[in-house]
Amino acid sequence: MEKAKLRPLVLEVLRQNAQTHFNAVELQIKNLTSDYQRYDALKLQEIIWELLIQGVLAPGKNSLNINLPFIHLTEYGVRCLEEDALLLHDPDGYLKRLQQRVGQGQPLDEVVLTYVRESLLTFLAGHYLAATVMLGVASGRCLDLLTHAYLNAIGDKGRKEAFEKKVIQAGRSIKLRFGALQSELLALTLPVKLKDTLDIQLTGIFTLIRYSRNDAGHPIGRMVDRDVAHGNLLAFPRYCQRIYELIDHFQSNSV
């Protein structure tokens, strides 16, 4: 089996067994799929070690069995389970679900996908500031795509030129660029599905950008812990989906 197919099975076993043993995980995976073969044991071992390094698992099962091959979910692992956030530790699954959420009208932009992938892999390596910077780049790209789609959808020449001028004058200033777009979108008459919580969703994606850059677009070197990076990655698919819904709308409708 490929690790991409094996990893979600491991996470499913852990959802059912917070305290377990390597051999027990292997046995349960065999019960879940007929694709598992003896030689997949090494891949299974790699996945478990990755989860140990990432802090999802720790050695031991109880006070009588405190060492490997016994394993248990850490407090962080349990929290991921409770929040249904173990998907962050399945990068292939996370990216697949992201593309499914935004792919109704068009595929996810390759630049966005590239930086989200880097953000996720960097997060799993324990580099939370770098993960946040990468996610900020992906979020900025989303806003650029939305700005471009909206600009192309403006039917009135005067309005179009006025908005384009605002974008040009904003330059690298994230705050000014975002403000120009936000004020335009909030003034539109949009379908209820798109209008509902629009301000919150736009502010959310703007916040992801601002974690690593100031209003002028320069890096600020703010330290980021695991919880913040974790929360940002969980929030991004929802924000990205809303951006793409707006893009699809503007590509089909003049405003």
Determine the pLDDT at residue 117: 97
Is pLDDT at 81 greater than 90 in this prediction?
no
Is pLDDT at 216 greater than 70 in this prediction?
no
Determine the pLDDT at residue 108: 93
Determine the pLDDT at residue 83: 85
Is pLDDT at 219 greater than 80 in this prediction?
no
Classify the C-alpha dihedral 120-141-146-248 as positive or negative. Answer: negative
Segment 111-136 shows an average pLDDT of: 95
Quickly list DSSP for 224-242.
Answer: --HHHHHHHHHHHHHHHHH
Mapped onto helix, strand or coil, the DSSP state of residue 203 is helix
Determine the pLDDT at residue 28: 97
Is pLDDT at 21 greater than 90 in this prediction?
yes
Determine the pLDDT at residue 217: 67
Segment 108-115 shows an average pLDDT of: 96
Amino acid symbol at 118: E
- Residue that the structure tokens 């692992």 belong to: 77
User: What is the share, in percent, of the chain residues with pLDDT greater than 70?
Assistant: 97
Lowest mean pLDDT among 25-34, 83-92, 155-164: 83-92
Determine the pLDDT at residue 220: 72
- Which residues have CB under 8 Å from 163's CB, separation 6+? 150, 151, 154, 180, 184
Is pLDDT at 222 greater than 90 in this prediction?
no
Is pLDDT at 149 greater than 70 in this prediction?
yes
Tens of pLDDT along 47-73?
A: 999 999 999 999 999 889 999 999 999
- As a whole number of angstroms, the distance between CA 26 and CA 213 comes to 45
Segment 141-153 shows an average pLDDT of: 96
Determine the pLDDT at residue 105: 67
Determine the pLDDT at residue 1: 93
User: What is the share, in percent, of the chain residues with pLDDT greater than 90?
Assistant: 81
| 71 and 61 Cβ atoms separated by less than 8 Å | yes
